[in-house]
Amino acid sequence: MNTVRFGVWAPVYGAWGSFQNPADPPDASYRRSRDLVVRAETLGFDSVLLAQHMVNPSFKDQAVLETWTAAAGIAEATWRIEIIAAIKPLLFHPGVLAKMALGIDDISQGRFAINLVSAWFRPEMARLGIEMPEHDARYAYSAEWLQVVQRLWSGAPLDHAGTHFGIDALQLVPGPRRGRAPTVYLGGESEPARQLAADSADVFFINGRSLEDVRELVADLRRRPRQGRPLRFGLSAFVIARDTRAEALAEYAHLQALADRDDRSAIAEGVDPKVAMFKTNAGQKRVGTNGGTLAGLVGSHDEVAARIDAFAEAGIELFMLQFQPLEAELERFATEVAPRVKRRDSGLLKALAGHPLPSPVLS
């Protein structure tokens, strides 16, 4: 079994459940994210993910934190936690982004990583006056973009004449802080996304899905030819853990009722309909983004820990988690769930293996 790591989504949009939750009012400030990450690091969390948007995709009048300046500040405020900054290639020239990433890599002393996202929210690009190619063309663009970035991170001078970029004898000095390039995470479940992950990523990020779906995705990616180290896997999930399953399901119902009050029509109208995540999740109730509670991390502390163990057996190394209320539930997870996972309660895992936990998703 892989060594399990836990990460947390920084609240760059202000909240990860409902914006109507009185116990967790939206706060997308840098200070809140910084303080949260510092606390997560103290509690033993291994990674933090900062999503990237220029405008809030859910609520156009709500704030959203700028990812890369925040990542640099958080790098200076922390000492151990991995900092993953999302990046949309359409927003940055690869040479500029490669240099920025090396700068934050230096600030963090080698703890920096990127999460490549090929864009999905059309109004964001339209408001910036940036042409948004169709789905598969975006991945072709991302593939060349990432190739340039990774070659620049190698430290050698680069000449590149491609479809989208021309680079003339560019060399970035200094190179990576610890002599190795920043880790590349990649999300997206379409065929072009899977192939790009197999070709060029270090970690494939899976949105919240059932255990069966995750096993199929992992198996598909592992079958694909690849050079270098084996591809690793991460999973996004929203966690609701309590002393008993009944308490957890009651809290789920409460959070879902709050989420149902949010008007997320902006996402529905602005998303590219070809994006696999939104097609997969269409019509499914859930709390949180990127699959949220669809991964089923809802139940007693023991049940959630056992389900995490089952995902780890399926190949998941990093669990990138959302909570609400964020700070309180972060503490609960670190205190109650994480120790149970690290203890590897194999007896409970075996008992549950033939009896999957009922889905927490309410119809």
- Is the residue at 362 inside a domain? no
Q: What is the pLDDT of residue 345?
A: 44
Q: What is the pLDDT of residue 351?
A: 42
Read off the DSSP letter of residue 271: B
Contact 86, 54 (CB under 8 A): no
Which residues form the domain of 207?
5-351
- Is the residue at 102 inside a domain? yes
> Comparing C-alpha atoms, which of 312, 329, 91 is closest to residue 218?
312
- Is the residue at 363 inside a domain? no
Q: What is the pLDDT of residue 238?
A: 97
- Is the residue at 171 inside a domain? yes
Q: What is the pLDDT of residue 264?
A: 61
Q: What is the pLDDT of residue 75?
A: 98
CA distance 83 to 340: 25
CATH number for the domain spanning 327: value is 3.20.20.30
Cβ count near 62 (within 10 Å) = 15
CA distance 18 to 257: 9
The distance from CA 190 to its chain's CA centroid, rounded to whole angstroms, is 16
Contact 258, 20 (CB under 8 A): yes
Q: Helix, strand or coil for residue 237?
A: strand
- Is the residue at 358 inside a domain? no
What is the mean pLDDT, run by run of 10 residues, along the chain of 363 residues?
88 90 94 98 98 80 93 98 97 97 97 91 83 90 97 96 96 90 94 96 96 97 95 98 97 93 62 55 76 96 96 97 97 97 53 43 39
The token duo for 218 is 């992992």
The token duo for 109 is 């002393």
Count of structural domains within the chain? 1
- Is the residue at 359 inside a domain? no
Q: What DSSP line would sit under 64-112, residue for residue?
A: ---HHHHHHHHHHH-SSSEEEEEE-GGGS-HHHHHHHHHHHHHHTTS-E
- Is the residue at 356 inside a domain? no
Q: What is the pLDDT of residue 281?
A: 56
- Is the residue at 160 inside a domain? yes
pTM: 0.90
117 CB contacts (<8 Å, ≥6 apart)?
Answer: 52, 86, 87, 88, 187, 188
Cβ count near 59 (within 10 Å) = 19
